[in-house]
C-alpha cells in the first residue's frame, strides 16, 4: 500500500511522525507546504519543511513544535542587540540548517535535492518532498492590506482580520520532482490535520489532486484512489494556529464540518474527533465516509494511534 501525506506545520508533522512509525519508506511519501518559506537575515527559511523533517528526525522542540530541541539563541540575540529584527526566533542549531540550505541554493542546488541530503544526514528515511522547487508565497489579504505569510503569522501574531489568501507563483510552479509520480502510484492520499487555508491549499494549488492523471491510479481494492482528510478543528477550535480564527473572519463558523465542506468534492473520507461526533451525519451528507476517533495528539502514542486508526480506516491492516 502506497500512501502520500500532505502536510503543513506542527499538526501535520505529528501525524506524519505517527505514519512513519508504521509505514516503511517505500510505503510513505510526504509532500510539504512551502508557501510559508521566506528570507530573513538573508537566509532562506522553510518553516513547515523543517518542522516536518525535525519531527521525523526526533529533533523537534517538543514545547513549540517548530525549531530544535535543546536550542540556544546566542546568534539571534546578538544580532538583535546590534539592531537586527528580533520577531522571528532562529535558534543556533536551526541557523545551521538555514545557512547550509542558503549556501546550497546559491550554488544552484534545488530545494528537493537539499531536503533529500538533509534528511539523510538527520537519519530520516522516508521521502519528504517540498511541494515545489520554485517559489510559491502565501499572501494573506487582511484589513491591514496584503501581508507576507510570516509577517502576518509571527510578526503580527495573526491579529489582522483575514479577507482571503493568494499563493503567488503557484500558477507557474511545477510540482517537485517525484511528487506527481508518488501521487500517481499512491493507493491513498492523507491530508494531515494542518490549516486548510494556508498549509494544504497552497499544496493543492500547485498539485491539484483532482487532476485526472493523479486520480487515475487504482486503489489496492480496485476502488480507485482514496483521499482522506483529518480535521485540524476539534470542538470548534484549532489545537494550534489560526485556522479557527480564519474560518470565523471569512464568515464561516469553524467546525470539523466546515473543514469537510472546504474539501468537498476532493476527499472521499473524513476523520473527526470524538467530541464532534454529532457532526458525523452531516459530514456523510457531503458524500464522505467518516471515522470518529481521538484526533488530539498530545503524546507520541497518540500520534501512532491516530495514524493506525486512519490507516485502518482507508483499508491498510496495521
Question: 266-293 burial, b if ≥16 CB within 10 A, otherwise e?
Answer: bbbbbbbbebbeebbeebeeeebebbbb
| Per-residue mark of binding to ligand FO1, 93-112 (x: CB under 6 A) | -x------------------
8 touches ligand FO1 by CB under 6 A: yes
Residue whose C-alpha cell is 523537534 = 60
80 touches ligand FO1 by CB under 6 A: no
Strand 237-238 versus strand 145-148 pairing type: unpaired
The set of cell numbers assigned to 29 is 511519501
Q: Which of 139, 148, 154, 266 binds ligand FO1 (CB under 6 A)?
A: 154
Segment lying near ligand FO1 (by CB under 6 A), choices 87-95, 101-109, 249-257, 265-273 = 87-95
| Residue number, 24 or 70, with CB nearest to ligand FO1 | 70
DSSP letter at 275? G
Distance CA 129, CA 119 (A): 10
Question: From the CB of 179, what's the least distance to ligand FO1, in Å?
Answer: 19
CA 193 to chain centre: 8
Distance CA 222, CA 211 (A): 19
- The continuous run of DSSP H or E covering 49 comes out as helix 47-57
Question: From the CB of 64, what's the least distance to ligand FO1, in Å?
Answer: 7
Among candidate residues 74, 67, 70, the one with its CA nearest the CA of residue 98: 67
The set of cell numbers assigned to 312 is 485502518
Q: Which of 90, 176, 209, 229 binds ligand FO1 (CB under 6 A)?
A: 90
The set of cell numbers assigned to 231 is 480535521
Question: From the CB of 154, what's the least distance to ligand FO1, in Å?
Answer: 4
Residue whose C-alpha cell is 507546504 = 33
Work out the number of other CB atoms within 10 angstroms of the CB of residue 145.
9
| Residue number, 44 or 313, with CB nearest to ligand FO1 | 44
Q: Contacts with ligand FO1 in 9-48 (CB under 6 A)?
A: 9, 36, 47-48
| Residue number, 38 or 263, with CB nearest to ligand FO1 | 38
Q: Which of 89, 113, 248, 261 binds ligand FO1 (CB under 6 A)?
A: 89
Which residues, listed in sequence order, are joined to residue 43 by a DSSP beta bridge? 40
Q: Which of 132, 150, 228, 238 binds ligand FO1 (CB under 6 A)?
A: 150
Q: Which of 29, 30, 31, 50 binds ligand FO1 (CB under 6 A)?
A: 50
Q: Contacts with ligand FO1 in 167-226 (CB under 6 A)?
A: 199
The set of cell numbers assigned to 66 is 517548530
| Residue number, 94 or 309, with CB nearest to ligand FO1 | 94
| Per-residue mark of binding to ligand FO1, 52-71 (x: CB under 6 A) | --------------xx----
**Residues that bind ligand FO1 in the complex, under the rule CB under 6 A:** 8-9, 36, 47-48, 50-51, 66-67, 88-90, 94, 150, 153-154, 199
Amino acid at each position: 500500500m502506497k500512501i502520500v501525506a500532505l502536510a503543513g506545520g506542527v499538526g501535520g508533522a505529528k501525524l506524519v511522525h505517527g505514519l512513519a512509525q508504521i509505514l516503511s519508506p517505500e510505503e510513505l511519501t510526504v509532500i510539504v507546504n512551502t508557501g510559508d518559506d521566506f528570507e530573513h537575515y538573508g537566509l532562506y527559511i522553510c518553516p513547515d519543511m523543517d518542522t516536518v523533517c525535525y519531527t521525523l528526525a526526533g529533533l523537534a522542540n517538543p514545547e513549540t513544535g517548530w525549531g530544535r530541541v535543546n536550542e540556544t539563541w546566542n546568534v539571534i540575540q546578538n544580532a538583535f542587540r546590534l539592531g537586527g529584527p528580533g520577531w522571528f526566533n532562529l535558534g543556533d542549531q536551526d541557523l545551521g540548517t538555514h545557512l547550509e540550505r542558503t549556501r546550497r541554493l546559491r550554488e544552484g542546488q534545488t530545494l528537493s535535492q537539499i531536503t533529500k541530503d538533509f534528511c539523510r544526514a538527520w537519519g530520516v528515511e522516508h521521502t519528504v518532498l517540498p511541494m515545489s522547487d520554485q517559489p510559491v508565497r502565501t499572501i494573506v489579504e487582511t484589513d491591514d492590506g496584503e501581508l507576507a505569510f510570516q509577517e502576518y503569522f509571527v510578526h503580527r501574531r495573526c491579529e489582522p482580520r483575514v479577507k482571503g489568501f493568494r499563493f503567488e507563483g503557484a500558477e507557474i510552479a511545477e510540482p517537485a520532482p517525484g511528487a506527481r509520480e508518488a501521487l500517481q502510484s499512491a493507493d491513498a492520499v492523507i491530508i494531515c490535520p494542518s490549516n486548510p487555508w494556508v498549509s494544504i491549499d497552497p499544496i493543492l494549488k500547485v498539485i491539484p489532486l483532482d487532476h485526472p492523471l493523479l486520480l487515475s491510479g487504482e486503489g489496492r481494492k480496485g476502488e480507485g484512489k482514496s483521499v482522506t482528510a483529518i480535521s485540524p478543528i476539534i470542538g470548534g477550535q484549532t489545537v494550534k494556529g489560526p485556522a479557527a480564527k480564519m474560518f470565523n473572519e471569512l464568515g464561516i463558523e469553524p467546525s470539523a464540518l466546515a473543514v469537510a465542506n472546504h474539501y468537498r468534492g476532493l476527499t472521499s473520507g473524513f476523520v473527526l474527533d470524538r467530541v464532534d461526533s454529532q457532526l458525523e451525519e452531516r459530514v456523510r451528507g457531503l458524500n464522505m465516509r467518516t471515522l470518529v476517533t481521538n484526533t488530539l495528539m498530545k503524546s507520541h502514542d497518540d500520534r501512532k494511534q491516530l495514524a493506525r486508526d486512519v490507516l485502518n480506516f482507508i483499508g491498510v491492516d496495521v
